[in-house]
Amino acid sequence: MRRSEYELRKISDGVFDKSTILSLQRLNTKGIIDEIKSIISTGKEANVYHGYMKGKEIAIKIYAVDASEFKNMEKYILGDKRFKAWRNRRQLIYNWAQKEFKNLSRVCDVIDCPKPFGVYKNILVMEFIGKNGIPAPRMKDLPPDNPKKYFDTIIQYMKNMYKKGIVHADLSEYNILNAGKPVIIDLSTGVLIDHPNAEEFLQRDVRNICNYFKNFGLKISEMNILKEIKGEE
């Protein structure tokens, strides 16, 4: 991986355990990761790194197996028919990484989001949104120049995801990048529309997005938007 175990640990802030390093080596052998260059972001659930795959910039998301912020994870994954029961925390995290990979794979052809390249255990490899190692900013940090255009695009994304059977379940200005267009990220929370809490999550997504864009003076009816997304116009 062009980095020693010590160097990886130094930039990992506790994310890299022995199992994770072995998993990175496996992904390297399979040609999915050639190099890890730098850290993009740190979080209580995962760290994201910038790297390369066959000369292409990639994002490497590594979920921390012992992270304390996964207490509420079960409400997003219980009831999802795609996943079997887990016996311990590590298996739950592996399912969580698989969940984001499956959700991205399901919707990447109908919305702008990172294209997934591979997943193994607690590591997800996907398209890097940015250039030369500099990630695109979140919409929270760089508001859109044309709020109406961005709003319409995001609602169309939500409609397209719903048609594909997915609700993001944690959508807000915090997990939409402003890359000259809105790019949806953090789909690990995404649930199938037959999930017991899908309707509640969709309503929350709509409320979050509408509240953000109302700050720009847009006149929005949450009820009408919800009906539009669900095709009940």
3-class DSSP state of 163: helix
Question: What is d(CA 135, CA 112) in angstroms, rounded to the nearest whole number?
Answer: 15
Question: What is d(CA 8, CA 20) in angstroms, rounded to the nearest whole number?
Answer: 11
In the chain, DSSP finds a helix count (H) and a strand count (E) of 7, 11
Question: What is d(CA 77, CA 84) in angstroms, rounded to the nearest whole number?
Answer: 10
List the catalytic residues: 170, 186
**C-alpha 75: how far from its chain's center?**
17
Question: What is d(CA 135, CA 150) in angstroms, rounded to the nearest whole number?
Answer: 19
Question: What is d(CA 1, CA 87) in angstroms, rounded to the nearest whole number?
Answer: 31
Question: What is d(CA 161, CA 153) in angstroms, rounded to the nearest whole number?
Answer: 12
Question: What is d(CA 192, CA 201) in angstroms, rounded to the nearest whole number?
Answer: 11
